Amino acid sequence: MPEPKVLQGRRVVSVPVALDTAVWPANSIVLRVAPDEALVVGDGDPVVDDPHALIEDDASLAAITLPLAEAGDLLATLCDWEWPIAGEFLSQGLVAGVPVRVWTRSDRVLLIVPSSYLHEVEERLG
């Protein structure tokens, strides 16, 4: 199991339309966890067209990064929803009984959990 990493980022809470049109820093990972909320991992500040947007430093999430092939095998037996699903997407549900956000790209998968749950996921994934 690769070393999990705490995701140092910014939590952005704003109106959905401002998040739809926001300019995110280059090379950042943007997790749109709700219509009015996004988590941006990476350096630099997002530009959001909303004077009331809240942009706060956030280190509450941690991620385990897996190559896509490896993740598919693992998640096929541990996910409570059907796996694999093709494409780039963010899904969330129970993995081994623990709530996990699964961020999927063509080459890799990030299992994103609140950092305070990390040991639960690690123990259950073995």
Partner 1 sequence: MLRLPCPQCGERGVVEFRYGEIPTIPEDLTDPAARDLDRAFMRTNTEGMVTERWFHEAGCRRWMTVLRDTRTDQVLEVVSRSSARQSDRSA
Partner 2 sequence: MNEFVERRVKLRFAEPRRAYDVVIVGGGGHGLATAYYLATRHGLTNVAVLERGYIGAGNSGRNTTVIRANYGVPATVRFYQHSLELYQRLETETDRSIMHKEKGLLWLAHTEMGLRAERARARINTACGSETVFVEPEEIMRICPQLDLAGAGRYPILGASYHPHGATARHDRVVWAYAEGAMDRGVDVVQRIAVNGIRTSGDWVVGVDTDQGPIDAPVVLSAVGGHVTSLCSTAGVRLPIRTHPLQAFVTNHYQGTFEAIVASTELLFYASQTARGEMLIGAEIDRQPSYSYRSSFDFLASCSGRALALLPFMANLRILRQWTGVCDMSPDYTPVMGKTGVDGLLVTTGWGTWGFKAIPAGGEAMAELIATGATPDLIAPFSIDRFARDRTLADRGSSGTH
Binding site for partner 1 (CB under 8 A): 116-117, 119-120
Q: Tell me the C-alpha to C-alpha distance, in Å, between residue 25 and each of 4, 35, 64, 80, 122.
A: 23, 19, 22, 33, 30
CB of 42 to partner 2, least distance (A): 22
Told to check if 58 binds partner 2 by CB under 8 A, we report no
Fill in the DSSP letter of residue 52: T
Total residues in contact with partner 2, by rule CB under 8 A: 17
* Between 110 and 121, CB nearer to partner 2: 121
Question: In the set 25, 50, 65, 122, which binds partner 2 (CB under 8 A)?
Answer: 50
* Between 36 and 120, CB nearer to partner 1: 120
Specify the amino acid at residue 69: A
Exposed/middle/buried for 60, CB within 10 Å: 0-12, 13-18, 19+? middle
Rg, the chain, Cα only: 15
Beta strands at 98-104 and 108-114: parallel, antiparallel or unpaired:
antiparallel
Told to check if 90 binds partner 2 by CB under 8 A, we report no
Told to check if 15 binds partner 2 by CB under 8 A, we report yes
CB 31 within 8 A of CB 103: yes
CB of 116 to partner 1, least distance (A): 6
Footprint on this chain of partner 2 (rule: CB under 8 A): 13-16, 36, 50, 52-54, 56, 98-99, 114-117, 120
